[in-house]
Amino acid sequence: MLLCCAAMTAGITFALTACHRQGELTPQEREGKQLYTVRCAHCHEDNDLALKKAPPDLHRLFQRKALPSGLPATDTAVRWTVLGGKGMMPSFARRFTEDQMQALLAYLHTGLR
Ligand code: HEC
């Protein structure tokens, strides 16, 4: 019982902390945001190439059940898309180090702008 209450308190504390994080990114998430801004946003936010099939909004990607294509919204699926490309999206194979890929995913997980 005591253990159960402790776990619940921890859960609630975590939920509150998560809410209070609004706008505050860790250094890793900040690096990811920088990469996203430079490499992804021009298509995914501005569609600067005026692609007929507009690149989908990536914010809150991991808070959804599935990616726009219907693939499960997992790190693996997003990595796969980024490394392999998809439709009009180019492949970023060898463009990111493993650290950069992890930073990008960490930022996308925050769902923050
Ligand atoms: C040249 C424009 C362009 C750039 C740059 C680009 N994308 Fe995309 N992206 C697209 C388009 C177009 C699609 C839709 C592909 C389709 O479903 O045919 C897409 C789809 C996606 C999807 C959804 C995949 C799915 O299965 O639904 C993810 C995730 C994604 N991009 C991540 C990224 C990330 C992360 C970056 C930066 C590293 C990035 N993209 C850079 C054009 C781009």
Domain limits of the chain?
Answer: 26-110
Ligand 1: does its nearest atom lie under 6 Å from the Cβ of 101? Answer: no
* Mean pLDDT calculated for residue range 38-57: 96
Confidence of residue 55 (pLDDT cuts 50, 70, 90): very high
* Mean pLDDT calculated for residue range 92-100: 97
Atom of ligand 1 nearest to the CA of 90: 1
> What's the CA-to-centroid distance between 26 and ligand 1, angstroms?
24
Describe the crossing of helices 75-84 and 98-110 by its angle, rounded to 10 degrees. 120
Query: Residues 46, 99, 97, 83: is their CA dihedral positive or negative?
Result: negative
Which residue type sits at 96?
F
> What's the CA-to-centroid distance between 86 and ligand 1, angstroms?
7
Nearest CA to ligand 1 atom 2: 43
How high is the pLDDT of residue 113? 87
Domain 26-110 class in CATH: mainly alpha
**Three-class HEC string of 12-41:** HHHHHHHHHCCCCCCHHHHHHHHHHHHHHH
In this prediction the pTM is: 0.85
Which DSSP state fits 100? Answer: H
Confidence of residue 15 (pLDDT cuts 50, 70, 90): low
